Amino acid sequence: MDPLSTGRLLTEYWEAAQKAGITISYVEDLRELNGLALVDKKVSAMFDPSRSEIAPHDTFWLKGTDPAGDIVHVQAARCDDTGRGSLAELISRRLEVLYQSEPAVTHGELLDEVTGRCVYHGDGWIAPHYRDNGLGEMIYKLGTLAILLRFNPDYVYAFFEEPLMRSGFPVRCWYEKMERVGQHFHTWLLPTDYVACVSAEDLANAVALEADRNARPDRQR
């Protein structure tokens, strides 16, 4: 990961969000996030320190505010180490505790192969009146860049509902591998949801390419 190109791209997207009327702030305290009342969005237990064991230095969230000071965007990230097991095993244990989920009926091949320092990128939300101007995708990528600089993880992963998956959003946001949740997990996730992940190497390459493309005077959006 090239911290210079990563930081340059993050700054570009932060400034673009600012010009569109959204100021993005970095926050480590999750208490405010869990106290928010958002339109059509409830913060998941994955980021609730009263329900999930989270070290302060292993998580952060981004708060987007409009000129009036109202919160119009959130997204969050938490870093975990799978130890000697896989990401599939870690998620299964966590969902069993948080949602009284039954053990997985089957194991997805994708997450069985993921190990090491893994960052969950979730709870993305943007206010309805900002959803049709392309800001959501750019700000989500800004969050991924912050993850790279903050944690330098082995993998980044996220869950997506089927309509968002079919829109191509995860691919445009640098995710390389996806699979349907199916019956791997229960209660919190639907069988029609997808899990997507990207390795540090693939993510660093994608970021470097995008930073280089955006830096060209004749770039095509």
Query: How is residue 13 annotated by DSSP?
Result: H
* CA gap 29, 49 in Å, rounded: 10
Structure token digits, residue 3: 């911290």
pLDDT at 217: 62
Domain at 9, CATH number: 3.40.630.30
User: Per-residue pLDDT averaged across 123-131, rounded?
Assistant: 91
**How many domains, the chain?**
1
Domain around 16 = 3-215
Q: Is residue 197 part of a domain?
A: yes
Q: Is residue 221 part of a domain?
A: no
Q: Is residue 196 part of a domain?
A: yes
pTM of the predicted protein model: 0.92
The answer to whether 79 and 59 have CB atoms below 8 angstroms apart is yes
Q: Is residue 205 part of a domain?
A: yes
* CA gap 110, 105 in Å, rounded: 15
The answer to whether 197 and 111 have CB atoms below 8 angstroms apart is yes
Q: Is residue 220 part of a domain?
A: no
Q: Is residue 148 part of a domain?
A: yes
Report whether pLDDT(207) > 70: yes
In whole angstroms, what separates CA 9 from the centre of its chain? Answer: 17
pLDDT digits (tens, 9 = 90+) for 15-53: 999 999 999 999 998 988 988 888 888 888 899 888 888
Q: Is residue 92 part of a domain?
A: yes
pLDDT at 4: 87
Report whether pLDDT(215) > 70: yes
3-state SS record for 62-123? EEEECCCCCEEEEEEEEEEECCCCCHHHHHHHHHHHHHCCCCCCCCCHHHHCCCCEEEEEEE
Percent of the chain exceeding pLDDT 90 equals 62
